[in-house]
Amino acid sequence: MAKFNRRTVRAAASGPVSTERRPSGRTYEGAPGYVRDAKSELFLLAVANMVGEKTFYESADDRDDRFRDLVHQVAVKHPAWTAGFLPWLRGEANMRSAPVVAALEAVRARLEAGLNGGNRQLVASVLQHALDRRHGRGDVIPERLTMLRARAELMAVPVADRQVVFAADGPDRLGAAGMTWESLAGWLQGPMGRRAWEAMIPTMGYMAVLRNLRNFDEAGVSDAVAEQVAARLADPEEVARSRQFPFRFFSAYLAAPSLRWGHALDKALTAATANVPEFEGRTLVLADTSASMTGMGVSERSKMNYAQMAALFGVTLAARGNRVDLHGFATGTFRHDVRRGASVLREVERFVGRIGEVGQGTQIADSVRATYAGHDRVIILSDMQTFGGGWAGNVTDAAPKNVPIYGFNLASYQHGAIPSGTGTRHELGGMTDAAFRLLPLLEAGAKADWPWEQ
């Protein structure tokens, strides 16, 4: 992304996420909390909502109920906005369950309100794949369904003869039959060794490859095949098509620290965060390492937590260069220098290794005051559930009023720590780099609309 060639930062006329001007609520840690309008709250929740998953401060049921209620409100009152939001959520925002649930709940609310037009289109906008044949599964497979016929032929091969897929045409046969690595493991009725993986790799999806790098190493996949895998991982077009969350690349790096994959994963992460800008002037970045950010993963099965996500975006901002001061914060702060040209993944790992150095609290205002030194902007990567009390101060006033503060709300609880929508205080969010596209507009003093309206 091009630099913003200006000496003076001007405030945006308005940003998409809008709150009340004076706080009427409280964060979960007791600080003044700002209530958002329904569209803004739904937007921030949806881009961070894994559906059916608890977070540090919210049970899964409470979070799902809040999501459902917001969808019902917005779908009835703002149908055009909903029709633009849902396909963007499924597409550019890379969310899977949330847009499908939202579409169904939106139609439910609209039907109950007697609104019939456009409902099928809402559901269609979030459906991208036909997963199976719904009818006549016991009938003879028609010849036109070539993949299903190839699959049936493969299933008919006796177990003792199934090593045939290790022949030269094995990858083509597996691909023609639509075999996944999971189905191949079951079909072979034995371990996935080197030959099995090398037969499967050419037709594996990007996400499957990313998740199995450690298995490739343990099975002894050849360097020649590994080079092909690495080239695919690093290909920006493949990264874009895969629609992976950026933190998936850090997770893969931790799971398979082999030197064969490191550089390719670094390049993939760079492609997956292409919307993270390089700023003119000085930028203060604060990444939250408090207990609420480390207390649990982004989902029940994930080993990644919100602090690691904050670290990833923080290091990425610092790696873009041009005088970025990166600090971790909790009860206190620590400075983390990122060497220019260093591996972003290695720097994220080094930052994550420092979690716990400065306590477990969420002192956003104190942390901004302790680290702000004439910067042109402040970026806070956090769940925004800052501590309250007179001694903690107000996040909004922690930096001069003419200096923009951007809060990237990674967990999207009901109340935020800063006002948003006008002036120099803006709240964004999400698990991808999509919201970072709004920063150039905010920095330029332009009106920043919703991402799908740009």
Q: Decide if 45 contacts 430 (C-beta within 8 A).
A: no
**Residues 442, 317: Cα–Cα separation, whole Å:** 17
Residues counted in the chain: 454
Res 3 pLDDT > 70: no
DSSP letter for 215, please: H
Among the listed ranges 5-19, 192-206, 321-335, which one has the minimum average pLDDT value? 5-19
- What pLDDT score does 115 carry? 95
Among the listed ranges 36-45, 63-72, 431-440, which one has the minimum average pLDDT value? 431-440
Per-residue pLDDT band at 173 (split at 50, 70, 90): confident
Q: Decide if 248 contacts 301 (C-beta within 8 A).
A: no
For the chain, give every domain's residue range. Answer: 48-92+95-124, 146-242, 283-453
Among the listed ranges 3-12, 130-139, 153-162, 346-355, which one has the minimum average pLDDT value? 3-12
Measured at the alpha carbon of residue 335, what is the angle toward residues 331 and 338, in degrees to the nearest 5? 140
Q: Decide if 308 contacts 247 (C-beta within 8 A).
A: yes
What average pLDDT does range 319-344 have in this prediction?
93
- What pLDDT score does 308 carry? 96
- What pLDDT score does 393 carry? 67
Name the one residue in this structure whose structure tokens are 């499908």: 100
Q: What percent of the chain has pLDDT over 90?
A: 68
Per-residue pLDDT band at 390 (split at 50, 70, 90): low
Average pLDDT across the chain, whole number = 90
Q: What is the pLDDT of residues 233-248, one digit of tens each?
A: 999 999 999 999 999 9
Per-residue pLDDT band at 1 (split at 50, 70, 90): very low
- What pLDDT score does 205 carry? 93
Res 12 pLDDT > 50: no
**Residues 234, 15: Cα–Cα separation, whole Å:** 34
Q: Which CATH superfamily is domain 283-453 in?
A: von Willebrand factor, type A domain (3.40.50.410)
- What pLDDT score does 7 carry? 45
- What pLDDT score does 229 carry? 98
Q: How many CA atoms lie within 13 A of 278 on its CB side?
A: 11
What average pLDDT does range 198-202 have in this prediction?
93
- What pLDDT score does 65 carry? 97
Among the listed ranges 28-42, 197-211, 393-407, 439-453, which one has the minimum average pLDDT value? 439-453
The DSSP element (H or E) to which 382 belongs, if any, is: strand 377-382
pTM of the model: 0.89
User: Based on the number of CB atoms within 10 Å of its own CB, is 301 exposed (0-12), middle (13-18) or buried (19 or more)?
Assistant: exposed
Count CB-CB contacts under 10 A for residue 402.
Answer: 11
- What pLDDT score does 334 carry? 98
**CA nearest neighbour of 196 among 207, 204, 188:** 188
